[in-house]
Amino acid sequence: MDIEQKQNEFIDHFVKRASSLKGSALASVVTEATSHPSLFAFSEILAVPDVVELGGTEHSVYLDVLRLFAYGTWSDYTSNSGRLPELGSDQALKLKQLTVLTLAETNKVLPYDQLMQELDVTNVRELEDFLINECMYAGIVRGKLDQLRRCFEVQFAAGRDLKPEQLGSMIQTLSNWLTTSDNLSVSIQDKIKWADNMSGLDKKHRKEVEERVEDVKKSLSSKADIDIRGHEEVYSEPGGVMDYEEDRSRPKRRRHPIS
């Protein structure tokens, strides 16, 4: 079962639970969802009407926590920790994993120094262990650790929830991609037509060449027949060639000695 299918199952589970609770009862759902080791998407839970209604109430802090995990990073938490509840160890790990995904969205080469600062990691060994054990083994990123250059080269990173203000940009990006795909499809079709046309011309040219070759063969064959008949006529003319038997039957001339 791949990570996306697992995500969908976990999302459905928490959405159903959140839809059946209200107020402070939603705190446990938020805590469990943000602590779950295999859940990395939260926008569907945020869209549940009972969760949305937490805004502006005494329980709005749980809505803020859910938004932090949907869109924020570890540095967002540390800079606002005074008004947010203290995170458990599983939640802290999850938020750091999500931070790596956010960094990988815009850069495919992540310097160790930047990662250590963003994740509050003090040494390279701890950072590499985190990237290997908690990110790559979890299947949320793939890449190469370059110890010589002190960077993490990202080959794949799972996507995070889109912020509402990012939707317009994403729609435009997808629209541009669709336009480019349509143009590319038209270009490919034109090249296919050109190739078919050239293939037809090539076949036509080949046929013409073959016909010319046949005509030349026929012409040479006809000329050879004419030459052969001409030779036969020359050798068959009377007096043209003396028959050997006729020559033997003629009396020999007597030779007189020269005096």
Q: Which two tokens stand for residue 197?
A: 């046309």
Q: What percent of the chain has pLDDT over 90?
A: 57
Most confident of 151-155, 165-169, 228-232: 151-155
The DSSP string of 62-115 is HHHHHHHHHH--HHHHHHSGGGSPPPPHHHHHHHHHHHHHHHHHH-SEEEHHHH
Q: Choose between 206 and 92: higher pLDDT.
A: 92
79 has a pLDDT exceeding 70: yes
| CA 57, chain centre distance (Å) | 47
pTM for the model stands at 0.68
pLDDT 10s digits, 113-148: 999 999 999 999 999 999 999 999 999 999 999 999
Q: What is the pLDDT of residues 205-223, one digit of tens each?
A: 888 888 888 888 878 777 7
Q: How far apart are CA 228 and CA 243, in angstroms?
A: 21
Higher pLDDT, 245 or 2: 2
DSSP state string for 9-52? HHHHHHHHHHHT--GGGHHHHHHHHHH-TT----HHHHTSHHHH
* Cβ neighbours for 52, distance < 8 A, ≥ 6 positions apart: 46, 63
Do 70 and 46 meet the contact criterion of CB atoms below 8 Å apart? yes
